[in-house]
Amino acid sequence: MNDQTPPARSARPTRSGGRAARHALRAAPLTEDKRPVRPGMEGGLYQPLSQADMDRIYETALTALEEIGLVDAPESGIAAMTGAGAILGDDGRLRFPRGLVQSMQAIAAKEITLCGRDPRFDMHLAGTKVHYGTAGAAVHMVDVDGRNYRDSTVQDLHDAAKIVQTLDNLHFLQRPMVARDITDNRLLDLNTIYACCAGTTKHVGVSFTEPGFVKDALEMLHMMAGGEGAWRARPFVSNSNCFVVPPMKFATESCQVMEECIAGGMPVLLLSAGQAGATAPAPIAGAIVQAVAECLAGLVYVNSISPGYPAIFGTWPFVSDLRTGAMSGGSGEQALLTAGCAQMHRYLGLPGGAAAGIADAKLPDMQAGWEQMCSNVMAGLSGLNMVYEAAGMHASLLGFCHESLILGDDLIGQALRCVRGIEVTEETLGLATMHEVCVGGPGHYLGSDQTLGLMQTEYIYPALADRTSPKEWVENDRPDLIANAVAKKEAILSAPSQVAFPADVDQAIRERFDIRLPTV
Amino acid sequence: MNDQTPPARSARPTRSGGRAARHALRAAPLTEDKRPVRPGMEGGLYQPLSQADMDRIYETALTALEEIGLVDAPESGIAAMTGAGAILGDDGRLRFPRGLVQSMQAIAAKEITLCGRDPRFDMHLAGTKVHYGTAGAAVHMVDVDGRNYRDSTVQDLHDAAKIVQTLDNLHFLQRPMVARDITDNRLLDLNTIYACCAGTTKHVGVSFTEPGFVKDALEMLHMMAGGEGAWRARPFVSNSNCFVVPPMKFATESCQVMEECIAGGMPVLLLSAGQAGATAPAPIAGAIVQAVAECLAGLVYVNSISPGYPAIFGTWPFVSDLRTGAMSGGSGEQALLTAGCAQMHRYLGLPGGAAAGIADAKLPDMQAGWEQMCSNVMAGLSGLNMVYEAAGMHASLLGFCHESLILGDDLIGQALRCVRGIEVTEETLGLATMHEVCVGGPGHYLGSDQTLGLMQTEYIYPALADRTSPKEWVENDRPDLIANAVAKKEAILSAPSQVAFPADVDQAIRERFDIRLPTV
């Protein structure tokens, strides 16, 4: 034995029998229940906070709500919350006795189903079930060929939706970028919904610029759903709502948007997006405290209007690079913030979401890969229900990249494999197989029934990531990861849409609304 | 409030006072104890296995040792182990009663200090303390400019050592590649030690092709140390020893190497490098069982020769891509295997190591980034004492890349930040600061004393990863990550060595041995 040779490769037997069997198996498609990873797998084995830590964070958040409170709620919100027991101070701050917060926690929705337009894509938010998807408000598209940033458009947004529709490991599409070619805000909001929903039948998340725009949007959604009843039965769009301007201020107009959405039956994401060291405390623990406090205020708000209404606990604290004050979504501190928030959601027993997968890198390079994986895998392992911004996000949220989104499917598939974890059973412990192989057997496991049986159900294989040997890689003409992602993007976008609205529905929507996306 | 704008950036106040203070702080160097990350930080908050899972894995490993055992120990090893209570069967297999294994566990070293040639770099292996370093036996160097793989040389090896010496987050240098320009195995082994130790004063790991080569190596190490006594007091080189050929066979010659190393006072890494689905069971649990069983056999071996001798529990199961039988070190399955092994080390109370940070990607691209981060961060969070192969490794261990090694310092720094975790204290919970900021205060945290105080101790900043805005990035002429790594490599390698041997020592070594590395 020569210790200098790579040990793992040196002992690779070749057995054409095993290889033929593997080839046959590989050709067979997997049924949904046999796939190695799925939406809603259970995480939670990574626990960055101790029980005592969580107790202290929660208690501090309750104290902050009781003593500091929030300003700037709209009149309607003040009425609802003071009616429930909140106290409006002479200083204009609305304070929340802990008994009020805890009684609202008790009646809040503990499980939420976010519907897809296609029920196959429904997501059940509960416990430590993990789902990954896009989100954000990038203002640029990353042009990988030209190494350039340009303004994002409604066509880019639709393309992102069309791509997400084809990617197994992207479970929802929250609007990741702003259609900057539409400058009228009402048109922007309506076209955003149209561009997203025309591209995917997965669940969609959007926001609204003004409360007055919600009514039109609901009318459009009723048309897509086949009537208000059908919409209310299965709302396939939720409202991503920045209801607070951290620290500890309600965002007055966004709160009014939220009230409109609740009236219209649209689930709400209560999004608190402080930035540690800028609009939130610099210590990770303190940023979590403030996010939890703000979202608890949001929870009181929602449940004082509509008890048990579906509201996702959206603690999204971000990280500052404290040297410059600029955001750093790709940092380890961000991954810890998000994982800590996920654990607080479980502590509170509330379905929650946070941001992960953000790259600070401007391009889909090695930095982007490590930044996106770090927070995505930690978010999954911590059992975050909704991992927002999980793919495609660059430049600390300012740029969106279709190629990166496509590669994100491989990256998130791997993270999901990690979330699935290690199954320990009589069979996987494998003593019987070890006995057969070692004592009088072939001395390796390549052709064993167990190996073949697990090939597709226990292991996941990337679509674009390259696992060839250097020799094969040279023979394949040194394939380039990004060039392959570009080619896949072009194939997806040039294929006819599988999920377009029926022609009469589309025509009716286009007659009623100024839809800027060309008919496909 | 317009929900369409990126919330995190929209609320960034600028305060030249805070900025000036940050600039002043940034200029001040950090003392060692204030650095946000350090070698030996404690992990362990990610626990992929339950207590019952670990009990079953351990019990199955004990049963495998009792019932299956291992073949091919050298006569000397058979004598030592049967002397201690192992049973040699008529089938040539050496079997280990569980009482024997457990009594050897009881006397085995529970803490190990791996020395650097410079004591600043000593590593204390115990509990969940985490250290990252290189390892492997790559046969190629990755040429990033030419997108090419070429044979690795002794100069490449020395360059890697010189680079590792400069990188804070690489804590040791185990020989990562084979000097293929040296075809004589005795010369290869001696020159490997020289090339590594001449480049770094961090702890070095090497292997030996034949037991007969150890004596010369020790003579050289005595010369470097200043005599045998000084060497034995602080051995700064350990033996990475593939003492088994999985499944369940001793590697006869490597075992003889191990015996020589033990006699010479060189710490041993008991390295079991099975490949799940090929030389180890395909299920992750089964691969861990076999690795634990094999390393326990190694532990019996070492402790039957020299009770309490420093031996690292090196469960290094790798992963096959079961479609092809090829190795996939960059997979999620690999990250799980490694993290599960780390947990078993803690369960057994033994200092341990495993492989992480391997990329299947041929180049330092986005795939490499996500692959390297996935297993590195999970290894750290699981509290692995020695994370081997953590940087620079491509093509599933076949290629080593200096630029990737340099970028790995940023990547591992981020992983270490995650290992450090979330500190929850009265101060970090930050209620007092929140009060000051929100009620009558500035409404943001940018200039607060707390923010400035934490800037360097709570947050880590990458050296090469880019966090600029798209605007700054364009103004900086779109810096390329790899080009910057190349430039840093050239700067490191062109600088004079800070750690070369004293001239007389170097001359004596060169007179006694055929050293192929040119004098610098």
For B398-424, the pLDDT digits (tens) are 999 999 999 999 999 999 999 999 999
Give the pLDDT of residue A14: 40
- Smallest CA-to-CA distance from A96 within A310, A294, A254, A259 is with A294
Closest-CA distance of chain A to residue B151, Å? 12
A491-512 per-position pLDDT tens digit? 999 999 889 899 999 999 999 9
Q: Which phi and psi (to 5°) does residue B399 adopt?
A: -125, 140
pLDDT score of A13 more than 50? no
Of A8, A416, A429, the CB nearest to B318: A8
- Smallest CA-to-CA distance from B310 within B269, B339, B274 is with B269
A83-133 per-position pLDDT tens digit? 999 999 999 999 999 999 999 999 999 999 999 999 999 999 999 999 999
Please state the rounded mean pLDDT for residues B326-343.
96
pLDDT score of A7 more than 50? no
Closest-CA distance of chain B to residue A316, Å? 9
* Contact residues for B304 (Cβ-Cβ < 8 A; gap 6+): B80, B81, B83, B84, B86, B104
Of B11, B245, B446, the CB nearest to A1: B245
Please state the rounded mean pLDDT for residues B357-384.
98
Give the pLDDT of residue B392: 98
pLDDT score of A15 more than 50? no
| Weakest-pLDDT range from A287-296, B22-31, B289-298 | B22-31
Look at B469 and A47 and tell me if their CB atoms are within 8 Å. Answer: no
CA-to-CA dists, residue A494 to A165, A166, A438, B294, angstroms:
14, 13, 53, 54
Q: What is the DSSP track for B480-511?
A: -HHHHHHHHHHHHHHSPPSSPPPHHHHHHHHH
B15-25 per-position pLDDT tens digit? 444 555 555 55
Look at A285 and B48 and tell me if their CB atoms are within 8 Å. Answer: no
Closest-CA distance of chain B to residue A430, Å? 5
Give the pLDDT of residue A17: 44
Residue recorded with tokens 């991503």: A240
Burial class (CB in 10 A: 0-12, 13-18, 19+), B139: buried
Chain B residues lying within 8 Å of A149, measured CB to CB: 470, 473-474
Q: What is the DSSP track for B6-41?
A: -HHHHT----HHHHHHHHHHHHSPPPGGG-S--TTE
* Pairing of β B41-42 and β B129-134: antiparallel
Report the distance separating Cα B447 and Cα B431, nearest Å. Answer: 16
Smallest CA–CA distance from A68 into chain B, residue: B435
Residue A12 contacts B, CB cutoff 8 Å: yes
A181-224 per-position pLDDT tens digit? 999 999 999 999 999 999 999 999 999 999 999 999 999 999 99
Closest-CA distance of chain B to residue A139, Å? 8
Tell me the ipTM for this assembly. 0.95
Residue A441 contacts B, CB cutoff 8 Å: no
* Pairing of β B393-394 and β A268-272: unpaired
Of A138, A273, A286, the CB nearest to B7: A273
Give the pLDDT of residue A187: 98
Please state the rounded mean pLDDT for residues B81-107.
98
Please state the rounded mean pLDDT for residues A451-459.
81
Q: Which of residues 148-207 of A touch B (CB under 8 A)?
A: 149, 178, 185, 188, 207
Report the distance separating Cα A160 and Cα A492, nearest Å. Answer: 10
Residue A365 contacts B, CB cutoff 8 Å: yes
Neighbour tally for A483: CB within 10 Å: 12
Task: Pick A17 or B514 by higher pLDDT.
Answer: B514
Give the model's confidence band at B326: pLDDT under 50 very low, under 70 low, under 90 confident, else very high: confident
- Smallest CA-to-CA distance from A171 within A128, A220, A205, A137 is with A205
Closest-CA distance of chain A to residue B80, Å? 21
Please state the rounded mean pLDDT for residues A71-79.
98
Report the distance separating Cα B281 and Cα B292, nearest Å. Answer: 13
Q: Which of residues 302-321 of B touch A (CB under 8 A)?
A: 318-319, 321
Judged by phi (left if over 0) then psi (alpha if -120 to 50, else beta), residue B162 lies in alpha
CA-to-CA dists, residue A349 to A18, A128, A134, A256, A309, angstroms:
48, 10, 24, 27, 15
E strand spans, A375-492 = 386-388, 393-394, 399-400
pLDDT score of B394 more than 90? yes
Chain A residues lying within 8 Å of B60, measured CB to CB: 429-431
Give the pLDDT of residue A433: 94
Report the distance separating Cα B414 and Cα B460, nearest Å. Answer: 7
Report the distance separating Cα B200 and Cα B191, nearest Å. Answer: 14
Give the pLDDT of residue A448: 82
Closest-CA distance of chain A to residue B70, Å? 9
Chain A residues lying within 8 Å of B290, measured CB to CB: 430, 434
- Smallest CA-to-CA distance from A426 within B80, B93, B175, B53 is with B53
Closest-CA distance of chain B to residue A249, Å? 9
E strand spans, B221-267 = 237-241
Residue B486 contacts A, CB cutoff 8 Å: no
Look at A381 and B290 and tell me if their CB atoms are within 8 Å. Answer: no
Chain B residues lying within 8 Å of A93, measured CB to CB: 439
Mean pLDDT of chain B: 93
Sheet of B393-394: strand order equals B148-151, B140-143, B399-400, B393-394
Is A255 strand, coil or helix?
helix
Smallest CA–CA distance from A250 into chain B, residue: B1
Smallest CA–CA distance from B381 into chain A, residue: A46
Chain A residues lying within 8 Å of B253, measured CB to CB: 1
H or E element at residue B161: helix B154-166
B273-308 per-position pLDDT tens digit? 999 999 999 999 999 999 999 999 999 999 999 999
Look at A277 and B446 and tell me if their CB atoms are within 8 Å. Answer: yes
Look at B374 and A147 and tell me if their CB atoms are within 8 Å. Answer: no
Closest-CA distance of chain A to residue B441, Å? 11
A82-94 per-position pLDDT tens digit? 999 999 999 999 9
Going from the N-terminus, what domains does chain B have, and what CATH number goes with each?
Answer: 102-420 (3.20.20.480)
**A51-67 and A98-107 helices, crossing angle to 10°:** 120
